[in-house]
Amino acid sequence: MSDRFLRRPAVEEETGLSRSAIYRMMLEGEFPRPIRIGKQAVAWRQSAIEQWKSSRPVAGD
């Protein structure tokens, strides 16, 4: 199974986080870092985002 690359708008939609929240959490070590896919382009591996989501607490737990 190949891993898809998600650009930032897709990551925002997938996680419900804003751009600033994503970058703040990356600086704090609480969110996966993207990989470079071009000279000025980065993306996140979908598997890394899925793993991050599954590690988050669920409301009511």
- DSSP symbols for 16-42: ---HHHHHHHHHTT-SPPPEE-SSS-E
> What is the C-alpha to C-alpha distance for residues 8 and 21, in angstroms, rounded to an integer?
12
Domain ranges of the chain: 5-55
Tokens 């990551």, residue?
A: 11
How would you write the pLDDT of the chain (61 residues) with one tens digit per residue?
A: 468 999 999 999 999 999 999 999 999 999 999 999 999 999 999 999 999 999 988 777 5
